[in-house]
Copies of this chain bind each other. A is one copy, B any other.
Amino acid sequence: MGKRPRAVEGENLWDEITALKRERILGEAVELFYRKGYLPTSVDAVAERLGATKPFVYYHFKSKVDLLVEICERGTREALAVIAAAVALDLGPQEKLERLVRDFTAVVLDHHKLVAIYFREQLNLPEEAAARIAAMRRDIDHHLRALLAEGREAGVFRFDNLAVASLIVAGMVSYAFAWYRESFSVPREEIADTMVAHVLRSLGAEPLARVGAAQR
């Protein structure tokens, strides 16, 4: 879809409208699943919030569970994308980790409701979707682990247990789903800076350029 040349105006407009409709449906589903839970939310209720009908929703998503799958997959997919991009950079391990943590934090803050829904509704996912998400989570862990190992090898990071260290680092960032809200008083950029500083120090390194708040 995104690969079609922008010049094909008509088709692109159609695609864009379809994408817009899907996004609006997903957005309302996120709000309802987040506030009420997946099981008690009906497709009717999602349609109602859009001023639309149930068939409108079903035209874009085959069933309620397809909404859940896309919601649960998206956060993990976007996290994996920014993490894979960061580790592929032609930079030293510390610079790569700074980028990784900054971008991963942005994804978790953006998608904190999706992450919360994923943790809540895992048992309601079809097996193959759950397996796909679990595989992406393992990929995230492998990338992080390889980068920590690379940094230790280079004498930049220090820690005792590679497996536990990478899980702890992933947890520092991921757990923001449990405390971050749009109303949170600290700006997102400052949260990301603080996250980078804590992760690097936890691995025995010092953050390089700081953009945000003053030290102490």
Contact = CB atoms under 8 A, between A and B. Distances in A.
A92 interface: no
Contact of A190 (B164, B179, B191): B164
Given A37-B123, A161-B186, A214-B160, A179 B167 contact: yes
B165 A194 contact: yes
Contacts of A103: none
Contact of A202 (B122, B175, B201): B201
A65 interface: no
A160 to B, nearest CB: 4
Contacts of A195: 164, 168
**Copies of the chain in the assembly:** 2
Interface residues of A, number: 47
**How would you classify the secondary structure of chain A's contact residues: helix, strand, loop or mixed?**
helix
A171 B165 contact: no
A120 B37 CA distance: 9
Contacts of A163: 185-186
Contacts of A39: 39
B165 A174 contact: no
A204 interface: yes
Given A171-B175, A174-B175, A179-B167, A194 B123 contact: no
A197 interface: yes
Most-contacted residue by chain B among A116, A163, A203 (CB, 10 A): A163
A198 interface: yes
B165 A198 contact: yes
A215 interface: yes
Interface in A88-138: 116, 119-124
Complex A-B, nearest 8 residue pairs according to Cβ-Cβ distance, in ascending order: A171-B175, A202-B202, A198-B202, A175-B175, A160-B213, A164-B194, A37-B123, A167-B179
